[in-house]
Chains A and B, each alone.
Chain A
Amino acid sequence: MDTFLGRYKNLIVLAAILFIQIIALAVQVHRPTQGGDTRLLRLWAISAVTPVETAVVHTQKWVNAIWKNYVYLRGVRRENRELRAEIDRMKVEDARYAEDARMARRVQALLAFKEQYVDTTVAAQVIGTSGSEQSRILYLDKGLNDGIKQDMAVITPAGIVGKIVQVFPDSSQVLPINDQFSGVGAALKSSRLQGILRGSSNGVTTLQYVMSDEKVEPGEEVITSGGDRIFPKGLPVGKVVSVEPGKDLFLNIRVVPSARLDQVEEVLVVTKITEKMPDSKDLGPRRASDILAERLPTVPAKPEVDAAGKPKTGAPSGTASGATPTTGTAATAARSGAAATSAANKPATGSSTAAASKTNGSATATHGTPTSATTAGSGGAAKAPKPAAADGTRPAGTVAKPLNGTGTATAPHANTSAPVSGPSPANRPATGNETTPPSKRSKPAPEQTPNPNPQPPSPPHNGEQPPQ
Chain B
Amino acid sequence: MPFRGSLTSRDQVAVYEFGWPAIIFIPLVAVLIQIFILGKIPFLAAINLPFMVTIFFAVARRNPISGCLTGCAIGLIQDLFAGPHHPLGMYGIALTIIGYSASSLGLKIDVENPGSRFIITYIFFVAHQGIYYGVAHGLLGQVQQWSWSHVAVSALANAVIGIFVFKFLDRFKQR
Contacts and interface: CB of A to CB of B under 8 A. Distances in A.
A117 B77 CA distance: 40
Interface in A20-46: 21-22, 24-25, 28-29, 33, 38-39, 41-42, 45-46
Interface residues of A, number: 48
Contact of B46 (A42, A126, A133): A133
A131 interface: yes
Contact of A56 (B36, B50, B68, B84): B36
Nearest to B75: A21
A80 B108 CA distance: 65
B15 interface: no
B93 A22 contact: yes
Interface in B44-84: 45-46, 48, 50, 64-65, 68-69, 72, 77-78, 80-84
Contacts of B97: 14, 18
B96 A14 contact: yes
A121 interface: no
Contact of B80 (A10, A42, A200): A42
Nearest to A21: B89
B36 A127 contact: yes
A130 B83 contact: yes
A17 B95 CA distance: 11
B145 A200 contact: yes
Given A10-B104, A14-B68, A175-B83, A130 B89 contact: no
B39 interface: yes
Contacts of A14: 64, 68, 96-97, 100
A173 B83 contact: yes
A9 interface: yes
Contacts of B86: 130, 134-135, 137
B21 interface: no
A132 interface: yes
Given A9-B65, A10-B104, A18 B82 contact: no
A130 B39 contact: yes
Contacts of B119: none
A262 interface: yes
A131 B145 contact: no
A53 interface: yes
B136 interface: yes
Contact of A201 (B32, B39, B91, B143): B143
Given A53-B36, A135-B86, A262 B132 contact: no
A166 interface: yes
Nearest to A126: B40
B85 A201 contact: no
A133 B90 contact: no
Contact of B35 (A129, A165, A181, A262): A129
Contacts, number: 146
B140 interface: yes
B102 interface: no
A13 B67 CA distance: 11
Interface residues of B, number: 50
A128 B93 contact: no
Main secondary structure of the interface of B (DSSP, over half): helix
A13 B65 contact: yes
B84 A24 contact: no
Contact of A135 (B68, B72, B77, B82): B82
B165 interface: no
B34 interface: yes
Given A21-B89, A28-B89, A133-B46, A173 B84 contact: yes
Contact of B31 (A13, A29, A131, A180): A131
Contacts of A49: 32, 35, 81
A22 B89 contact: yes
A366 to B, nearest CB: 63
Interface string A32-70: 010000110110011001001100110000000000000
A179 B82 CA distance: 12
A263 interface: yes
A359 interface: no
Contacts of A173: 83-84
29 contacts: A10-B68, A13-B64, A13-B68, A14-B68, A14-B97, A21-B93, A24-B87, A29-B140, A38-B84, A39-B88, A41-B80, A45-B77, A49-B81, A57-B36, A129-B36, A129-B39, A130-B39, A130-B81, A130-B83, A132-B82, A133-B46, A134-B86, A137-B82, A137-B83, A139-B81, A175-B85, A180-B142, A202-B150, A262-B45
Q: What 9 A-B pairs have minimum CB-CB distances, sorted nearest first?
A: A129-B39, A137-B83, A131-B35, A131-B34, A10-B64, A262-B42, A28-B87, A21-B89, A45-B80
Interface of B: 31-32, 34-36, 38-40, 42, 45-46, 48, 50, 64-65, 68-69, 72, 77-78, 80-93, 96-97, 100, 104, 132, 135-136, 139-140, 142-145, 147, 150, 154
Interface of A: 9-10, 13-14, 17-18, 21-22, 24-25, 28-29, 33, 38-39, 41-42, 45-46, 49, 52-53, 56-57, 126-135, 137, 139, 165-166, 173, 175, 179-181, 200-202, 262-263
